[in-house]
Chain A
């Protein structure tokens, strides 16, 4: 849950990047960190396994600075995508204020995307939250692989599979190369802060 300290004038929001394993959640945060570390002036915390997979979570705090008297802090998290770390995923979702669902555009990963979105919905339920009342942005990652001749899911198929009910903003992106990585993050930050402000009003 967001930490809002009216006395100190602080707003701290938690945004979680969720999605199937090997989908590019960590790569999203790495891209942001590598490109903007000089500006965001924070450290990214990441714990990986021997095989370069996310073990617990990645964490990237971002100081937005003071806006209308409020010091805005954003915490970006990823979850481990591998199916076996469900308990960890559920734990990371505690107190979430906004979600980026990073879908894998590879044609062979269609089923994993749908299962991961269902898993997200299931794991939000114990926290008394649902996808319909949280700010959500969908990212269709790995679009750059189309140039390499690798079969990808068309955007309308991804929209039908994942965004039919949600009707969330969505971006075609490449976490490895950068297109729409920052746009995805900006969108979810604006939506999350806006949603928190509306809750307060």
Chain B
């Protein structure tokens, strides 16, 4: 009986989650670059997407510099590489304190670069359009970083917040644990709203 039940569940799951190749391909966010000169750069971008360390950031910046020599005569690719260089230097300095969208922008600029560098026959207008989209994103992030810095300075003038010692969840009762988790969530939601308010303000200013 138990074995019957188990095998029926296995069969049902097999039917429900049968994978077809067509949709599997569409999920692949980063296609292969083969032996293209961008191969090493791609590996580094993927690597820092997961873990930011001094050595990984240094390798990334070094690779960007050597690619700038390689693509010296392609003004559009050179602009992509410079954008990547700026954002990489910022992430290297700020690390975990980087703006939350910085890593996403690094990936987005790289994807734009890959599109431009790998698409044979793409005309100049199309290439410039992709570049301009990334430049806009870069400018927006830069403005947001400057605004945040101002806010941080204002916060410092208001006086530093006192650090609360985190209680040990193992010593908490059920309702205390729930209340503590709720406080954690509230604090992050407050931070989210602060960031959203700042973004709306920035959006209004840019109109």
A2: Cβ under 8 A from any B Cβ: no
B169 at interface by CB-CB < 8 Å: yes
A142 proximal to B (CB < 8 A): yes
Considering only CB atoms and an 8 Å cut-off, how many residues of chain B contact the other chain? 47
A117 on interface, CB distance cutoff 8 Å? no
Compute the total of residue contacts between A and B using a CB distance below 8 Å. Answer: 123
CB of A169 closer than 8 Å to a CB of B:
no
Name the one of B9, B16, B43, B177 contacting A149, with C-beta atoms under 8 angstroms. Answer: B43
Q: Which A residues are closer than 8 A to B by beta carbons?
A: 22, 31-32, 34-36, 39-40, 49-52, 55-56, 64-65, 67-68, 72, 84-88, 90-91, 104, 106, 108-109, 122-123, 126, 142, 145, 147-150, 176-178, 182, 185-186, 189-190, 193-194, 197-198, 201
24 contacts between A and B (CB under 8 A): A36-B17, A40-B16, A49-B100, A49-B188, A50-B192, A50-B196, A51-B101, A64-B9, A84-B184, A86-B169, A87-B172, A87-B177, A90-B177, A91-B177, A91-B181, A109-B50, A142-B50, A145-B47, A176-B29, A177-B28, A178-B24, A186-B10, A186-B14, A189-B9
- Residue pair B13, A88 in contact (C-beta under 8 Å): no
- B27, A177: Cβ atoms under 8 Å? yes
Asked if B53 contacts A108 (CB within 8 A), the reply is: yes
Dominant secondary structure of chain B at its interface with chain A: helix
Mark each residue of chain B from 161 to 173: 1 if its CB lies under 8 Å from any CB of chain A, else 0. 0000010011010
- The residue from A34, A52, A190 contacting B9, defined by CB atoms under 8 A apart: A190
For B43, the chain A residues whose CB sits under 8 A away are: 148-150
Interface residues of B (CB under 8 A from A): 2, 4-6, 8-10, 12-14, 16-17, 19, 23-24, 27-29, 32, 39-40, 42-43, 46-47, 50-51, 53, 100-101, 104, 166, 169-170, 172, 177-178, 180-181, 184-185, 188-189, 191-192, 195-196
How far is B8's CA from A197's CA once the two chains are assembled, in angstroms? 13
B27–A64 touching, CB < 8 Å = no
Instruction: Pick the residue among A50, A68, A108, A186 that contacts B100 (CB under 8 A).
Output: A50
Query: A197 near B5 (CB under 8 angstroms)?
Result: yes
Question: What are the residues of chain B within 8 A of A106 when measuring CB–CB?
Answer: 47, 50-51
Q: Closest Cβ of chain B: how far from A46's Cβ, in Å?
A: 14
Q: How many Å lie between the Cα of A139 and that of B154 in the bound state?
A: 45
Shortest beta-carbon distance, A188 to chain B, in Å? 11
Question: Quick one: which of B6, B9, B39, B100 has the most chain A CB within 10 A?
Answer: B9
Interface core residue of A68, A87, A197, A201 (most chain B CB under 10 Å): A87
| CB-defined contacts of B184 to chain A, threshold 8 Å | 84-85, 87-88
B50 touches A126 (CB 8 A): no
Q: What is the distance, in angstroms, from B70's C-beta to the closest C-beta of chain A?
A: 18
The answer, among B2, B42, B180, for a CB contact under 8 Å with A197, is B2
Do A193 and B181 have beta carbons less than 8 Å apart?
no
